[in-house]
Structure 1
């Protein structure tokens, strides 16, 4: 655990320290987000924050190569984790920089995402098994494993990209999801007497650190946006951890937990990232229904609807954090216990309380807001109204 904590700290610290320099570079480079009708910011804001996050990822991986245990994880058998993350992440960052500066077309970005998934596959990061309902693993030949891997990578990247609409939202949601993956893998390995060292756990730890280091600069009011450079990078890392975790645990070794923990890697990211995934599907359906491109922007995302309900930007982001954290904690708890009824009851109770607070908060805030002083009315004219 100490080596994981050091890796998280390095990723967070380097990302935090690099972000101001990247901000100045983005201003000089001309990579700034001008306010649009669908945005919540009102002044031009630098992008390219993902470049600082990638710096944090690289620094954490370099430090990990000098740690005795982590060194073995980075080149574990057929999976060269460090090389895969650096090559695929570097490609995604280059595409993101071009998009943040010149706004490249969607097809080019899609091709880059597929290419990044191809790098993962060549370095051994691929879906090799999926769980069956009876708890036994089903081996996937390359004919099925390769396209499924590409699908997971591309879908996760775009889901994260879709939610990147409020200050601190994407970094916080992905950070929570990565933390859930980390604790899922670490606790399940520990409780079953297995090694806690794995490429999936290391990738999740690096991602937690990068998001934590960037968030202080990105929380409302944001001084810099991560841009597509960042949203695609953290989506890529999240998909890598998920893919490596799938099939990591043998159901025969998990005893009473047999089926559910085996499914968790496939369930956790879609569940934790349910907000961006649902938002993405609704946006695609809404836009195609209107005869527009699925990638055409609008102001009907879920976070925009929270703002319409009367929540402030900060409160809307914290609400999203709450729901993501609740789902993540519930799934990780379920994977490490036999008390499914207790977990379900506690989670449901907290969810009901969360809904009540979410509905009541705008009304309470409106009551507590000081009343605006009445504006003096202009003197009325004594002349009769024009009958015309």
Structure 2
């Protein structure tokens, strides 16, 4: 565990140190987003923060490859380097979008090509949990893997609308999934896990960047960052399926591991929900699925009356509830987990709608005041008291 914490600290430290340099570079080359009608911020802010995250991720993985406890994961396997190569490509695609605002179809095509490259390099869903565990054909594995990566990339991209929101949600999901993969890895002789390594590095770069991205943000992650985060958390969940022996793990623990189709959705539930709602909303209006609007979940939170920081913290709470709830149900009795989740849901629901409920209560109070001050109403009250 200490080794993983050390790697997370390296990723966080490098990202934190490099972010001011990337900010300066973004300003110099013109990667500064203009304030648009759908934006929450009011001041032009440089983007391209994903480049700093990529540097932190690269240093952490290279450093991990030299550590005795983890170095064995790099021997005879190129998965880590394939993931890192894909991360570089997806980040560069995002940098291009941060600079030149690429057409959404061109960007989607680039994401798909990179996802296919990563799947072709060996990062694939090997088993499918339909009825019983079955081995997927290479073509089906590549297709499902590419679909999941592209979907997760765009889900995080959709939710990246408030300072610290996307990095915090991905960090929460990364912590939950890292804990799960670490517990699973304890059943192996070496205790080392590539999925855990990628998750802790992911959490590290999120935390390191978040220190500069909290409201008011000094630098936005841009598409270079949001696409990188969505890509990395999905690769980590997919890699887990390739490191377990079906004969060596009990079905009650093993079967959920082969839910790579579900785990990214559960860990990234809020981004995926926001993406699905946006696509349905835009298609119903005859618009492109990538047509921008101000109807995302974070926009609705601000419309209710939350501050930027308050909205981010509450959405973090929902992300933690779903991420940790979906993981804990695999290790604790579902009745206990269900009760805990119900209590947390009630608390979060009250926090979410409290500004709206408070505003409605104040409006009702204002409507009642004129009635209470009416002379006729006062006389009626006096007569009632005298009876």
TM-score by length of 2: 0.88
Any conservation in 2 of the 1:8–1:205 contact (CA below 8 Å)?
yes
Most deviating of 39-48 and 270-279? 270-279
Deviation at 1:348, TM superposition (A): 1.2
SS in 2 for 1:341: helix
Any conservation in 1 of the 2:314–2:351 contact (CA below 8 Å)?
no
Which residues of structure 2 form unaligned runs of 5+?
A: 363-387
How is 1:49-128 mapped onto 2 (pairs within 5 angstroms)? 49-75=49-75, 77=76, 79-128=77-126
Deviation at 1:257, TM superposition (A): 2.3
Which residues of structure 1 form unaligned runs of 5+?
A: 369-388
Aligned to 1:38: 38
Deviation at 1:194, TM superposition (A): 5.3
1:95-132 per-residue CA deviation (whole Å, 9 max, x = no partner) reads 11111011111122112212221221232111111223
How is 1:134-145 mapped onto 2 (pairs within 5 angstroms)? 136-145=132-141
Deviation at 1:275, TM superposition (A): 1.3
Pick one of 248, 258, 262 that aligns with 1:267. 262
Q: Distance in 2 between matches of 1:94 and 1:184?
A: 31
Q: Distance in 2 between matches of 1:357 and 1:184?
A: 28
Most deviating of 176-185 and 195-204? 195-204
Aligned to 2:148: 152
Aligned to 1:255: 250
CA shift in 2, pair 1:269/1:259, >3 Å: same
Pick one of 205, 209, 215 that aligns with 1:214. 209
Most deviating of 347-356 and 305-314? 347-356
Any conservation in 1 of the 2:129–2:259 contact (CA below 8 Å)?
no
Aligned to 1:48: 48
1:206-263 per-residue CA deviation (whole Å, 9 max, x = no partner) reads 1011101000111111110000010111111111011112364455544372465335
Any conservation in 2 of the 1:284–1:295 contact (CA below 8 Å)?
yes
Q: Distance in 2 between matches of 1:138 and 1:264?
A: 12
Q: Distance in 2 between matches of 1:266 and 1:251?
A: 18
Q: Distance in 1 between matches of 2:250 and 2:243?
A: 15
Any conservation in 1 of the 2:15–2:208 contact (CA below 8 Å)?
yes
Q: Distance in 1 between matches of 2:32 and 2:100?
A: 10
Q: Distance in 1 between matches of 2:14 and 2:360?
A: 40
CA shift in 2, pair 1:74/1:247, >3 Å: closer
Give 1 or 2: higher helix fraction.
Answer: 2
Deviation at 1:21, TM superposition (A): 0.6
SS in 1 for 2:134: strand
SS in 2 for 1:137: strand
SS in 2 for 1:66: coil
CA shift in 2, pair 1:24/1:252, >3 Å: same
Aligned to 2:314: 319
Q: Distance in 1 between matches of 2:9 and 2:21?
A: 19
Pick one of 292, 305, 309 that aligns with 2:304. 309
CA shift in 2, pair 1:145/1:342, >3 Å: same
SS in 1 for 2:261: helix
Deviation at 1:358, TM superposition (A): 2.1
What is the Cα-based RMSD across aligned positions, in Å? 2.1
Count of residue pairs brought into register by the alignment: 362
Q: Distance in 2 between matches of 1:360 and 1:2?
A: 41
Q: Distance in 2 between matches of 1:137 and 1:248?
A: 15
Aligned to 2:10: 10
Q: Distance in 1 between matches of 2:146 and 2:5?
A: 30
Pick one of 124, 129, 132 that aligns with 1:131. 129
